[in-house]
Amino acid sequence: MSCSHCGGALVAVPVRADLREYLPGDAPAVALCRACLAMEPADESPDDVPNLTDLDDAFPASADAAVPMALLVGLLDSLAVHRAEITALLERVERAGTDPLLAVDRLADSYGDDAHVDLGRRRHQLEQLL
């Protein structure tokens, strides 16, 4: 599989049932692009959550924070459409012990113009949501 946005390699991330309400559609997993962080639905779910720090060390090591963080980043392309989901995911990441705004800052530094959205600009908008 390759990313529909940039052609980069994808990593599949299983999404627990309690997090699926934040996804567009009803896929059991998402695929996150290693090159641009775009998110796509994935029909096949891996058994375990991959170590997302392999993508970037800005992702939390804990799956309880990493999966919601991945979903959050993937939804940033439509902040207006996914506002409720993004707000809920921000809170979940925080409750899991990670500062989501700091993580977005670090991802913006790492990915820069290669990210599927302007993460620096989105970070400012996220701050207004909190």
pLDDT digits 0-9 by tens, 16-28? 999 999 887 788 9
Residue 4 included in any domain: no
Residue 5 included in any domain: no
The domain tally of the chain equals: 1
Residue 3 included in any domain: no
Phi and psi, residue 32, nearest 5°: -110, 130
Residue 14 included in any domain: yes
Residue 60 included in any domain: yes
Residue 74 included in any domain: yes
Residue 49 is encoded by which pair of tokens? 């959550």
pLDDT digits 0-9 by tens, 90-115? 999 999 999 999 999 999 999 999 99
User: What is the span of the domain harbouring residue 81?
Assistant: 10-129
Q: Do 96 and 72 meet the contact criterion of CB atoms below 8 Å apart? A: no
